[in-house]
């Protein structure tokens, strides 16, 4: 009974989320959003790198930066996918209260709603990688890729990001106004603390612990190592740790943040019912 409730919450939410997400009345907008935007972002990075390194695209550092940036797309996409559903259902479709009184698990429903953004996010990541390989001098030797490590890391990371999205969904629930971009905003704020395009060692000393505490740091490092191997000279942050140790830290922090997310979501849910916020709509 429990699993079937969870499963149907998740399955129907994913179905709904996909219909909403893929409902691009304007295919042009879709192209801009999921292709042009990530590629132009990556292109800017490549140009900046080119200027700073005086065109040294052969350095192992380059794919490291490029991959970090590409996979970071997932962070905003997945976190927003989950947390945005609260705003969408409450403000836009006015259905959140009907979801709430239905016999479903709301957290699982919200996670399901995030699936669509995970899929469009994956397309964006893939296109960015492809563009990098084809046009922007990114070299990946596919024979040397550690696929097991890559997919394990990817899955753990996406689950971790979805749980962080749930945390943000809880916070959104208690905010009366339509703080819809909390997902993207958080992703933006964490960008510099995740070692995405530069090592944490560049940050002032007092800021570094934030980076060490973020699971995204370990996640990006492992994804890059699985694809191109370790680049210790340029990204020395985690050089002394083996893949397995980093995976351990990623899993540990993911479990920690997952538990915190569930706790915070429940608490916010409680507050929302105390204050009557579940069907609160702001007038645009």
Partner 1 sequence: MSSLLAIETKDLGRIYKLRGNKKEPRKELVALQDVNLTVERGELFGLLGPNGAGKTTLIKVLTTLLSPTSGWARVAGADVSTDPDAVRPKINMVSGGESSGYGLLTVRENLWMFSQFYGVPSKEANERIVALLEMVGLKDRMNTKSAELSTGLRQKMNIVRGFLTDPEVLFLDEPTLGLDVGAMRDVRRFILDWLKADQERTLLLTTHYMAEAEELCDRVAIINKGKVLACDKPSVLKQRLQKDALFEIEVSPLNGLTQQMLLDQPEVTKAAVQEIETGAKLSLSLVEESALARVINLFTQKDVKVMSLSKREPTLEDVFVDLVGRSMAEEESNERSE
Binding site for partner 1 (CB under 8 A): 4-5, 8-9, 12, 15-16, 19-20, 23, 93-95, 97-104, 273-276, 278-279
Helix (H, G, I), strand (E, B) or coil at 63: helix
Q: Do residues 164 and 110 make contact, with C-beta atoms less than 8 angstroms apart?
A: no
Rounded Cα gap, residues 91 and 135, in angstroms:
42
**What is the DSSP secondary structure assignment for residue 37, as one 8-state letter?**
H
Which residue, 135 or 270, is less far from partner 1 as judged by CB? 270
**Shortest Å, Cβ 117 to partner 1:** 16
Which residue, 25 or 240, is less far from partner 1 as judged by CB? 25
- Enter the tokens of residue 3: 């699993």
**Shortest Å, Cβ 279 to partner 1:** 6
- Enter the tokens of residue 23: 């409902």
**Shortest Å, Cβ 278 to partner 1:** 5
Which residue, 139 or 266, is less far from partner 1 as judged by CB? 266
Which residue, 104 or 110, is less far from partner 1 as judged by CB? 104
Which residue, 7 or 256, is less far from partner 1 as judged by CB? 7
**Shortest Å, Cβ 261 to partner 1:** 20
**Shortest Å, Cβ 174 to partner 1:** 13
Please state at what angle helix 215-228 crosses helix 243-275, rounded to 10 degrees.
140
Could you identify the residue written with the tokens 């570094």? Answer: 208
**What is the DSSP secondary structure assignment for residue 67, as one 8-state letter?**
H
Helix (H, G, I), strand (E, B) or coil at 16: helix
**What is the DSSP secondary structure assignment for residue 34, as one 8-state letter?**
I
Which residue, 37 or 105, is less far from partner 1 as judged by CB? 105
Could you identify the residue written with the tokens 């959104």? Answer: 172
Which residue, 75 or 96, is less far from partner 1 as judged by CB? 96
Rounded Cα gap, residues 284 and 273, in angstroms:
23
**Shortest Å, Cβ 92 to partner 1:** 9
Which residue, 204 or 276, is less far from partner 1 as judged by CB? 276
Please state at what angle helix 61-87 crosses helix 106-113, rounded to 10 degrees.
130
**What is the DSSP secondary structure assignment for residue 200, as one 8-state letter?**
G
- Enter the tokens of residue 214: 């973020």
Query: Angle at CA 12, nearest 5°, toward 74 and 107?
Result: 60
Please state at what angle helix 243-275 crosses helix 106-113, rounded to 10 degrees.
120
**Shortest Å, Cβ 19 to partner 1:** 6
Query: Angle at CA 164, nearest 5°, toward 274 and 201?
Result: 135
**Shortest Å, Cβ 203 to partner 1:** 38
């Amino acid at each position: 009974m429990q699993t079937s409730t969870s499963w149907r919450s998740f399955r129907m939410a994913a179905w709904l989320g996909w219909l909403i997400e893929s409902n691009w009345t304007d295919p042009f907008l879709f192209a801009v959003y999921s292709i042009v935007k990530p590629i132009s972002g990556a292109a800017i990075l490549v140009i900046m790198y080119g200027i700073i390194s005086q065109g040294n695209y052969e350095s192992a550092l380059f794919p490291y930066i490029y991959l970090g940036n590409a996979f970071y797309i997932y962070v905003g996409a997945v976190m927003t996918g989950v947390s945005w559903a609260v705003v969408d259902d409450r403000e836009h479709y006015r259905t959140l209260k009907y979801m709430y009184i239905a016999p479903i698990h709301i957290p699982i429903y919200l996670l399901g709603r995030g699936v669509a953004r995970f899929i469009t996010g994956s397309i964006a990541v893939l296109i960015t990688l492809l563009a990098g390989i084809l046009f922007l001098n990114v070299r990946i030797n596919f024979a040397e890729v550690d696929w097991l490590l890559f997919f394990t890391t990817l899955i753990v990371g996406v689950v971790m990001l979805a749980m962080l999205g749930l945390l943000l969904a809880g916070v959104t629930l208690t905010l009366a106004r339509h703080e819809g971009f909390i997902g993207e905003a958080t992703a933006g704020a964490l960008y510099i603390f995740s070692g995405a395009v530069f090592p944490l060692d560049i940050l002032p000393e007092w800021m570094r612990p934030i980076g060490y505490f973020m699971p995204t740091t370990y996640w990006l490092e492992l994804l890059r190592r699985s694809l191109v191997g370790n680049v210790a000279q340029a990204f020395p942050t985690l050089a002394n740790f083996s893949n397995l140790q980093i995976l351990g830290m990623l899993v540990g922090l993911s479990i920690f943040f997952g538990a915190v997310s569930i706790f915070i979501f429940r608490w916010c849910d409680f507050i929302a019912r105390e204050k009557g916020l579940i069907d609160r709509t702001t007038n645009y």
